Amino acid sequence: MISRCGISVVEAPEDDAVSLDTLKAYLVIDDDRDDASLTITLNAAIGRYQEICNVRLVTQTLKATYDRFPSTDAFRSRWGTFSLVDNTVQPVQAGQIVLPTGPVQSVESIKYLDQDGDEQTWDDAEYRVDVSGMPARIVPVSLSSWPAALTTAGSVRVEFVAGFGDPADIPAQVVQSILQAAAYAWQARGAFDPNVYDAVLRMGDTGIGVWVP
């Protein structure tokens, strides 16, 4: 099976997903007295949307790290695909790497530690990347030809580009839900309900977020 993965930002977005001026116009605020607090409120809403909907809004470069490549011992049954790990049957995405967030634009590189602990870059002619749907997937050209990597923390590293594009490319429903959530957080400070906040953000869910078992 593919191991649990971590994710880090290699190159952050150049632009904000939603600008402070857009939020101020939404709230009909003309002065600059509360700009610092409004910026925190807006960034929190953007971050929370990306977290609960499991997407990245503006183009950025990310790195997903895994402890190993997928194993080839997965088996299928009427209930799904499973692998035997530490004598425990676990559900897996058999024979493929599933990238942990999206929408994925491209995969830049796949690097791994070989059996001697030396870093290698997997030739991109040896694998295929499917970004046509969600989640994006990586499979070897030959399903049994994963590289022989060392099994250790962070042994496999996939660098990829994700996001809708520029801020103007973000779906309107996403921007609307972020503005509504930020406005709620701003106006309901004394009676803030995190469940309401999350519900407002989920109203903008495009349905393309990634769920990885």
User: In which band, very low, low, confident or very high, does the pLDDT at 72 lie, cut at 50, 70 and 90?
Assistant: low
State whether 129 and 53 are in the same domain.
Answer: no
Max Cα–Cα distance, the chain, nearest Å:
63
pLDDT digits (tens, 9 = 90+) for 122-148: 999 999 999 987 789 999 987 558 899
The per-residue pLDDT for 124 is: 93
Q: Report yes or no on 7 lying in a domain.
A: no
Computed over every residue of the chain, the mean pLDDT equals 86
State whether 156 and 131 are in the same domain.
Answer: yes
CA-wise closest residue to 134 among 106, 158, 102: 102
Q: Report yes or no on 137 lying in a domain.
A: yes
Percent of residues in the chain assigned helix, strand, coil, to nearest 5: 30, 30, 40
Q: Report yes or no on 4 lying in a domain.
A: no
- Which domain covers residue 75, as residue numbers? 60-162
State whether 31 and 120 are in the same domain.
Answer: no
The per-residue pLDDT for 94 is: 54
The per-residue pLDDT for 213 is: 40
Cβ-contact 139, 127 below 8 angstroms = yes
The per-residue pLDDT for 134 is: 77
pLDDT digits (tens, 9 = 90+) for 86-129: 444 443 445 789 899 999 999 999 999 999 999 999 999 999 99
Q: Report yes or no on 104 lying in a domain.
A: yes
State whether 75 and 119 are in the same domain.
Answer: yes
State whether 77 and 155 are in the same domain.
Answer: yes
CA-wise closest residue to 75 among 63, 64, 85: 85
State whether 34 and 104 are in the same domain.
Answer: no
